[in-house]
Chains A and B, each alone.
Chain A
Amino acid sequence: MTSSTTTSITITSCAKTFADGTRALEPLDLSIQAGETLVLLGPSGCGKTTLLRIIAGLEAPDRGGRVLFGEEDVTHLPIERRNVGMVFQSYALFPNMTVWDNVAYGLKVRRMDKAAMKQRVEEMLAMMHIDALADRRIDQLSGGQRQRVALARAIAARPRVLLLDEPLTALDAGLRDRLRGEIDALLRSLGITAVYVTHDQAEAMVLGDRIVVMSAGRIAQIGTPRDIYHAPANAFVADFIGTTNRLRHKDATLVFRPEDADLVPPGEGMAQGIIQVVHFLGDRQRVHLHTDDGEAVIVEIGSRRRVAPGQRSGIAVRPEGMVHLSGNAEESAA
Chain B
Amino acid sequence: MTRKPLFLLQLCFTLAVCLFLMVPVILSVMAGLTANFFVGLSSGLTLRWVEEVWRLYQDTIWRSLGIAMACLAVTTLIGIPAAYVLAMRGGRMARLIEETITLPIAIPGLAIALALILTWGGLREFRMSWLFILVGHVLFTLPFMVRSVLAVMLSINIRQLEEGAASLGASFSRRFLTVVVPNCRPGILAGALMVVTLSIGEFNLTWMLHTPLTKTLPVGLADSYASMRLEIASAYTLVFFVMIVPLLIAMQMAARDRRPRRRIAKDMTS
Which residues of A are at the interface with B, using a C-beta cutoff of 8 A? 56, 58, 78-81, 83-86, 88, 90-96, 105-106, 109-110, 138-139, 143, 146, 153-154, 157, 163, 170
Contacts and interface: CB of A to CB of B under 8 A. Distances in A.
Contact of A79 (B160, B163, B182, B270): B163
A163 B156 CA distance: 23
A79 B164 CA distance: 10
Residue among A86, A105, A146 facing the most chain B CB atoms (10 A cut-off): A105
A86 B164 contact: yes
A169 to B, nearest CB: 11
Interface string B29-47: 0000000000000000000
Given A85-B167, A110-B169, A153-B168, A94 B268 contact: no
A92 B161 contact: yes
Contact of A92 (B163, B170, B178, B270): B163
B260 interface: yes
A93 B164 contact: yes
A88 B170 CA distance: 16
Interface residues of B, number: 27
Contacts of A109: 168-170, 174
B2 interface: no
Interface of B: 156-157, 160-161, 163-171, 174, 178-179, 182-183, 185, 260-261, 263-264, 267-270
A157 B264 contact: no
Contacts, number: 75
Q: Per DSSP, are chain A's interface residues mostly helix, strand or loop, or mixed?
A: mixed
Contacts of B164: 86, 88, 91-94
Given A154-B167, A170-B268, 16 more contacts: A78-B166, A79-B166, A88-B160, A91-B164, A92-B160, A92-B163, A93-B164, A106-B169, A109-B169, A109-B174, A139-B261, A139-B263, A139-B264, A146-B268, A157-B169, A170-B270
Contacts of A94: 161, 164-165, 179, 183
A248 to B, nearest CB: 46
A92 B169 CA distance: 14
A90 B167 contact: no
Nearest to A163: B167
28 contacts: A56-B167, A79-B167, A80-B167, A81-B169, A86-B163, A88-B163, A88-B164, A90-B160, A91-B268, A92-B163, A92-B164, A94-B161, A94-B164, A94-B165, A94-B179, A95-B264, A96-B185, A105-B168, A105-B170, A109-B168, A109-B169, A109-B170, A110-B169, A139-B261, A139-B263, A139-B264, A146-B268, A170-B270
Nearest to A170: B268
A170 B182 CA distance: 26
A69 B60 CA distance: 65
B163 A58 contact: yes
Across the A-B interface, the 9 shortest Cβ-Cβ residue pairs: A92-B164, A106-B168, A86-B167, A96-B182, A139-B264, A109-B169, A92-B160, A80-B166, A79-B166
